[in-house]
Amino acid sequence: MRQTSTAPRNNKLKPSSNLIMNGSVRVRVIRTLLAIQNGQSLASVLDPLLNSLHDGDKGFAHALLLTTLRQWYALERLLDSLADNPIDEKEVRTTIQVGLTQLLYLQVADHAAIHETVEAAKEIEFAHATGLINAILRKVAKNPSKFRKKCDKKHSLPNWLAYQLKQDWSEQYDDLMQGLRQPAPMFLRVNTAITSIENYQQALVEFEVEADLVELTSGLQLENSSDTATSNTILTKGLRLHQTTAVNALPQFAEGAASVQDMHAQLAAPLIHSALLNKLSVKNDDADGDMDTSNNEIRILDACAAPGGKLAHWLELISSNESPLFNVKQDDESIPVVSKVKLTAIDSEAPRIERIYTNLQRLNLSQHDLQQAGKNIELNIVCADATTWQGAGKKKSKLVFDAILLDSPCTATGVIRRHPDISILRTEEDVEQTALLQADILHNLWPQLKVGGYLLYVTCSILKQENVEQMQDFMTHYSNVEAIEFSDDCSWGIEQAIGRQCLPIDSESGDGFYYALLQKTAE
């Protein structure tokens, strides 16, 4: 997806590929913010910033950078109201906004915030603006509560995005605008192949990390063997930490006991896995128990899999000793549902593929680990474009997969709390381009799904064009698709015409995710 700056002012700004990390903490934060405005992502510049600092400065730099980004557009509007004349130099505007963040949101002492910010302007060779910077910051310092209220009154998003969200979510708009400005909670997914969620929660206490158990209930109206829909209830458990914690402070993290994953993201694997089990149970019931399962292999696909969180979760469910996939007891006998699972994961970027391997190795879920554990799972990770890739290769039949998890590319507007640079990097044109890309992927993958198979469509967007409207448009193109309904016992999200939408409003809940489950009814 194209990522461009939404900031119109670009005076002396030079390309930021050679970002210089020296000078005071504030200077380094200012240079990092300038790099983001010039098109670099927060993910690419955060580590260079923090790694350039002494340990005692890292916390302040992180808070200053993230808070300035979260309040970016609100601070811009406040700055414009404070200045007698337009300020066109991006470096000067950014420096003032860093100063405003200290005064309004970080409770830095007035004299320190003003003096150090003015000195930072000199360090970046904008000494000619120090009088202006000093005057504006001193004005705000006289009545910070007044200006904080002014800043907090409206949204802190680009106007085009705020307008679209108001169109999409008029009832939730005010809460959503405030929710997007807050830090997101940190959630953990416990690897139950290593320990139980209750035991891990107790282990956290011993490490002086407080966490709450979070349970989400999902209800799906899935077809049974008598061709009627019954409610299939799924319980997803995770842990919400009271405070964001470095992963090296978590017990057994390096050994794969837990993963950092948003609570709403943790819904994906259980949903598609439950649908897959339902497909297989209906198939076996139709065979009246006489089906030969010795060569009954199934093939499943995780499309756009990087960095591998949902893939790892699905593998944990498949490979679990408690999973009914390989071992279902009937009349005190163990009868395998399938003999082998062939799981393919694809992503279009080689560096992101490497992250999949790294994450799976930490969780003991690499192909070698699965073989060593005696699991009948064949894992194939492919660097490929989901808009054109064909899982069948040169085989005649293109009906390949029993289930597909499509974690679709999106504008990621649902994770702005975690990645506040998104509001700066995204443009209105990106939404249209992303929706077209999503449609191309759907139209390529749908013909590869077997009859009776399921496709779970997931995004971390809160824009309807990428979510429910995408699904509605998709269903107009195919007569062999049925949208599976979520039942009333779902404890998350807002019901849509197709699927359900989570919004990042509650400071204790997960990010903005959309889920829609589709079933293929005919060739």
Query: Over the stretch 268-325, which tens digit does the pLDDT of each residue have?
Result: 999 999 999 999 887 665 544 443 444 589 999 999 999 999 999 999 999 987 777 7
Which pair of structure tokens corresponds to residue 425?
């990097």
First to last CA, the chain: 32
Condensed to tens digits (0 to 9), the pLDDT of residues 57-96 reads 999 999 999 999 999 999 999 999 999 999 999 999 999 9
Residue 335 has pLDDT above 60, yes or no: no
* The domain boundary residue, chosen from 108, 134, 154: 154
Task: Enumerate the β-bridge partners of residue 302.
Answer: 345, 405
**Band (392; pLDDT cuts 50, 70, 90):** confident
d(CA 32, CA 97): 13
Backbone φ and ψ for 372, nearest 5 degrees, come out as: -60, -30
Backbone φ and ψ for 320, nearest 5 degrees, come out as: -60, 145
DSSP 446-476: GGGEEEEEEEEEEES---GGGTHHHHHHHHH
Bond into 307 cis (ω within 30) = yes
d(CA 155, CA 258): 35
d(CA 63, CA 46): 11
Task: Give the per-residue pLDDT at 9.
Answer: 33
**Band (3; pLDDT cuts 50, 70, 90):** very low
Residue 241 has pLDDT above 90, yes or no: yes
Q: Which of 151, 304, 460, 490 is catalytic?
A: 460
Q: What is the CATH number of the domain that holds 126?
A: 1.10.940.10
d(CA 69, CA 33): 8
Condensed to tens digits (0 to 9), the pLDDT of residues 243-260 reads 999 999 999 999 999 999
124 with 53, same domain: the answer is yes
CA dihedral 480, 443, 229, 282 (to 10 degrees): 90
210 with 149, same domain: the answer is no
43 with 94, same domain: the answer is yes
394 with 508, same domain: the answer is yes
Cβ atoms of 417 and 460 closer than 8 Å: no
Residue 334 has pLDDT above 60, yes or no: no
Entry field: residues in the chain: 523
Is residue 114 in a domain?
Answer: yes
347 with 426, same domain: the answer is yes
Backbone φ and ψ for 517, nearest 5 degrees, come out as: -110, 125
Cβ atoms within 10 Å of 72's Cβ, excluding its own: 26
130 with 210, same domain: the answer is no
* The domain boundary residue, chosen from 131, 154, 177: 154
Q: What is the CATH number of the domain that holds 276?
A: 3.40.50.150
Is residue 291 in a domain?
Answer: no
194 with 115, same domain: the answer is no
Backbone CA torsion sign across 116, 117, 120, 125? negative
Task: Give the per-residue pLDDT at 280.
Answer: 87
CB-based burial label for 188 (10 Å; 0-12, 13-18, 19+) = buried
**Band (339; pLDDT cuts 50, 70, 90):** confident
81 with 216, same domain: the answer is no
Q: Of the ranges 288-292, 328-332, 478-482, which one carries the lowest mean pLDDT score?
A: 288-292
- CA–centroid distance for 71 within its chain: 20
Residue 371 has pLDDT above 70, yes or no: yes
Residue 1 has pLDDT above 50, yes or no: no
Q: At what angle do helices 55-70 and 90-104 cross, to 10 degrees?
A: 100
225 with 79, same domain: the answer is no
Cβ atoms of 383 and 433 closer than 8 Å: no
Range of the domain at 408: 187-283+297-320+338-520
Is residue 316 in a domain?
Answer: yes
Overall average pLDDT of the 164-180 stretch: 97
Is residue 326 in a domain?
Answer: no
Which pair of structure tokens corresponds to residue 11?
């005076």
Task: Report H helices in 345-451.
Answer: 350-362, 367-372, 422-425, 428-445
Is residue 454 in a domain?
Answer: yes
* The domain boundary residue, chosen from 154, 176, 206: 154
CB-based burial label for 336 (10 Å; 0-12, 13-18, 19+) = middle
Is residue 327 in a domain?
Answer: no
Is residue 20 in a domain?
Answer: no
* 460 included as an active-site residue: yes
Residue 458 has pLDDT above 80, yes or no: yes
Cβ atoms of 406 and 368 closer than 8 Å: no
277 with 384, same domain: the answer is yes
d(CA 212, CA 210): 7
63 with 199, same domain: the answer is no
Q: Of the ranges 50-64, 182-196, 220-234, 502-516, which one carries the lowest mean pLDDT score?
A: 220-234
3-state SS of 169-220 is CCCCHHHHHHHCCCCCCCEEEECCCCCCHHHHHHHHHHCCCCEEEEEEEEEE
Phi-psi region of 331 (alpha: psi -120 to 50; beta: other; left: phi over 0): left
Write down the residue that tokens 């009948």 correspond to. 376
Q: Which of 381, 401, 376 is nearest to 391 (CA)?
A: 401
- The count of structural domains within the chain is 2
Task: Give the per-residue pLDDT at 227.
Answer: 65
Residue 236 has pLDDT above 80, yes or no: yes
Is residue 163 in a domain?
Answer: no
Write down the residue that tokens 């649902």 correspond to. 414
Condensed to tens digits (0 to 9), the pLDDT of residues 11-52 reads 333 334 456 678 999 999 999 999 999 999 999 999 999 999
DSSP 127: G
Task: Give the per-residue pLDDT at 296.
Answer: 82
203 with 150, same domain: the answer is no
Task: Give the per-residue pLDDT at 19.
Answer: 63
CA dihedral 316, 322, 326, 330 (to 10 degrees): -160
